[in-house]
Structure formats: C-alpha cells, structure tokens
C-alpha cells in the first residue's frame, strides 16, 4: 500500500468514524480529541473513540479508546503489535505512556501539540511536558525502542505534488470541521468541571 493510500484511509477514519463521535462528545462538554485502532493487515477499523473527560479526566481520546479496546472480548481483539494507533491530535504525556504500555509500535496523528495550543486553545500538552518533564516542544523521542510516531501533515508534505495537493485539501476540510468543534467546546467550557479544561 502506498503512503498516500494509507493517509487517505486514516483521514476517512477521522472523518467517518472519529469526528461523528467527537461531535456527540463535545455536545456533552468533552474536549475534541479522538482516536482509533486499525488492523495493519487490511486497515479495517477495530474501534474509534473520543474524549470522555466529563466522566473521568483520564479519559482522553486515546486512553478512552484503549479502555474500550480492553473491554472488547479477547477473541475479537487483535494484538496491538498488529495494529495502527491513530490519534486526531498528537498524544499528551499521559497518552504517550498509555500507547507505550499497551504495546503499540506506532502511532499517527494529524494535529500537533502546537496546533492544540495555538489553534485549539488547549495548551496543557506542552505545558505538562515542560513543567513535569522539563521538555521543550518537540523534545520527546518521536522514534524510540517502543514505537515510531508519524505526523500526518509531515508525511503529506513529503509526497509528490499531485498527491500532496489532494491530501492538503482533505486536511483543510478536516481542520475546518475541528475548528467548529473547538468553538463549541470553548464556548461551553466555563460550565464543566474538568480540572485542566
């Protein structure tokens, strides 16, 4: 499978499987972060989930997805080594650790930590990395003994022009959708009791 076919499939999952759940979650006061697990073999979806911090502040998009994954019957659950982990936004320190402990050897994300801070007004990922781990932006090890991470925007930038243009249009459409979700979350967040809202 080509890189652009993989990216198109991951964008399909964001648009068709994650974002609808996130729209529902945001309507209930949750943040707009979501995640999904796919089988490497045929890129079929295992499951998609969204942030559920209104229930528990540890249920970020990624950790909530992992919680649901381990609630599946063991027989239906592929080995994490045979799976792709997809996150709409670059995982925070909590989720980086969760993905590691669950045994994935990869993850892909669309929006960066800087996007979360600058476009989505959620600075906590970078702030925690700095305050707790003394790391500057980009300071964690994006490829290490456990996994390799892939920023989808960077992968798109490296493609030949024709494929790049098509995928950049798709990114623009997805970003617009998430801008709306962000406006909705930000306008209601004064009323929630999420510790780091």
What's the min distance (Å) between Cβ of 170 and Zn ion?
Answer: 24
Interatomic CA distance for residues 81 and 66, integer angstroms = 14
Task: Report if residue 194 touches Zn ion, rule: CB under 5 A.
Answer: no
Task: Report if residue 66 touches Zn ion, rule: CB under 5 A.
Answer: no
Residue from 92, 122, 156, 181 touching Zn ion (CB under 5 A): that is 92
What's the min distance (Å) between Cβ of 90 and Zn ion?
Answer: 9
Q: Which is nearer to Zn ion, 7 or 95 (CB)?
A: 95
DSSP of 86-132: EEEE---HHHHHHHHHTT-SEEEEEE-HHHHHHTT---HHHHHHHHH
Task: Report if residue 129 touches Zn ion, rule: CB under 5 A.
Answer: no
Task: Report if residue 95 touches Zn ion, rule: CB under 5 A.
Answer: yes
Residue from 94, 128, 175, 183 touching Zn ion (CB under 5 A): that is 94
Interatomic CA distance for residues 118 and 90, integer angstroms = 13
Reading the block at residue 195, the tokens are: 């510790």
What's the min distance (Å) between Cβ of 75 and Zn ion?
Answer: 29
> Where does this chain touch Zn ion (CB under 5 A) — which range of 7-15, 54-62, 113-121, 162-170?
54-62
Reading the block at residue 74, the tokens are: 């063991």
| Alpha helical stretches, state H, 28-72 | 61-71
Within residues 154-173, the interface with Zn ion by CB under 5 A covers: none
CA dihedral 112→118→119→120, nearest 10 degrees, is 90
The site for Zn ion, by CB under 5 A, has a size of 4
Q: Which is nearer to Zn ion, 35 or 167 (CB)?
A: 35
Interatomic CA distance for residues 130 and 174, integer angstroms = 29
| Coarse DSSP helix, strand, coil percentages of the chain, rounded to the nearest 5 percent | 55, 15, 30
What's the min distance (Å) between Cβ of 128 and Zn ion?
Answer: 9
Residue from 31, 60, 64, 124 touching Zn ion (CB under 5 A): that is 60
* Interacting residues with Zn ion (CB under 5 A): 60, 92, 94-95
């Amino acid at each position: 499978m080509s890189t652009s076919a993989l990216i198109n499939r991951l964008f399909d999952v964001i648009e068709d499987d994650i974002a609808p759940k996130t729209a529902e979650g945001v309507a209930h006061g949750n943040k707009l972060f979501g995640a999904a697990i796919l089988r490497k073999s045929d890129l079929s979806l295992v499951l998609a989930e969204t942030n559920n911090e209104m229930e528990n502040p540890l249920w970020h998009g990624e950790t909530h997805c992992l919680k649901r994954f381990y609630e599946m019957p063991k027989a239906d659950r592929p080995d994490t080594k045979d799976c792709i982990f997809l996150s709409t936004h670059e995982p925070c320190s909590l989720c980086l650790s969760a993905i590691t402990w669950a045994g994935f050897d990869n993850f892909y994300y669309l929006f960066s930590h800087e996007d979360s801070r600058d476009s989505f007004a959620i600075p906590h990922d970078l702030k925690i990395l700095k305050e707790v781990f003394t790391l500057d932006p980009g300071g964690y090890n994006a490829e290490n003994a456990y996994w390799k991470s892939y920023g989808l925007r960077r992968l798109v930038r490296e493609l030949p022009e024709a494929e790049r243009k098509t995928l950049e249009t798709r990114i623009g459409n997805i970003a617009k959708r998430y801008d709306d979700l962000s406006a909705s979350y930000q306008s209601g967040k004064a009323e929630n009791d999420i510790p780091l809202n």
